[in-house]
Amino acid sequence: MAVSKVWFITGTSSGFGRVWTEAALKRGDRVVATARNAASLNELVAAHGDAVLPLSLDVTDRDAVFEAVAQAHRHFGRLDVIVSNAGYGYMGAIEELEYEQAKASFDTNVFGTLSVIQAALPILRAQGSGHVLTVSSIGGVIAFPTGGTYTATKFAVEAISEALAAEVSAFGIKVTIIEPGHFTTGFRAAVQSPPAIDVYNPIRLGIRASFKPEDFGDPAATSAAIFKAVDADEPPLRLVLGSTTIAKFKAVYQARLGNWDKWAAVSNAAQGTQNT
């Protein structure tokens, strides 16, 4: 039987953050649940009492992130699982994107994740243990037209996490990148978009039409997968969620391999003949 864990999870008011928080509490773990609006966590407190510590947190406020992580550690005495989940989608064709809004999405999705990781690492290193879960997306592997800065932020989260895993493994800290496919979390309804440029509408409509109902999974079913990862002695660096996601990843990587092979002669010639 797995030992009870203490979780620190951002973005727990809805979506995956809420699902995983409730599931962790139900299995007997303790959770520091953060959200921009702490009132959205009242039901968790009513149902689980002292097992949950609700905190108001905007991950773009770096000082507040460090204080929240420190408060969480003081409250429960340790931190076992750090889940950087807070984020949102800002999507549009690249020409449509508004600079300040694109920057704001990076501030939340990327720099918010960076702040959470940096706040937690000294605690985890001192413990000699801990597991950092960063929430990426199918859009962290596949950039799609009109995905805008959302896919860019998730590519960045993947890169940060992969580097992190190699940096902290010697300290007993594990890292897993969560890569969900399509799920009925309400994410699409919350996506922000810039004013549309009409010439991109056919591309936009084509992307929307490619999302089939059968591709969308049940968010509640993901909790068991998350628990298998955090309870594993050797968890995966990447954990894909969804039965249709891996096939899509493989198709993209096959296309990339084909591209590299096709242009290999040109790439190799670019090495030159100069001796170093």
272 backbone φψ class: left, alpha, beta (φ>0; ψ -120 to 50): left
13, 84, 105, 136: the catalytic one is: 136
Is 200 catalytic? The answer is no
* Known active-site residue 99: no
Q: Is 150 a catalytic residue?
A: yes
How many CB atoms sit inside 10 A of residue 233's CB? 5
Task: Single out the catalytic residue among 115, 137, 154, 174.
Answer: 154
What is the torsion angle, in degrees rounded to the nearest 10, for the CA atoms of residue 159, residue 187, residue 59 and residue 147? 40
**Nearest residue to 184 via CA among 209, 220, 153, 149:** 220
**DSSP letter string, the chain:** -PPP-EEEES--SSHHHHHHHHHHHHTT-EEEEEESSGGGGHHHHHHHGGGEEEEE--TT-HHHHHHHHHHHHHHHS---EEEE-----B---GGG--HHHHHHHHIIIIIHHHHHHHHHHHHHHHHT-EEEEEE--GGGT---TT-HHHHHHHHHHHHHHHHHHHHHGGGTEEEEEEEE--BSSSHHHH-B-PPPPGGGHHHHHHHHHH--GGG-B-GGGHHHHHHHHHH-SS--SEEEESTTHHHHHHHHHHHHHHHHHHTHHHHHHTT-S---
115, 150, 161, 223: the active-site residue: 150
Q: Give catalytic residue positions.
A: 136, 150, 154
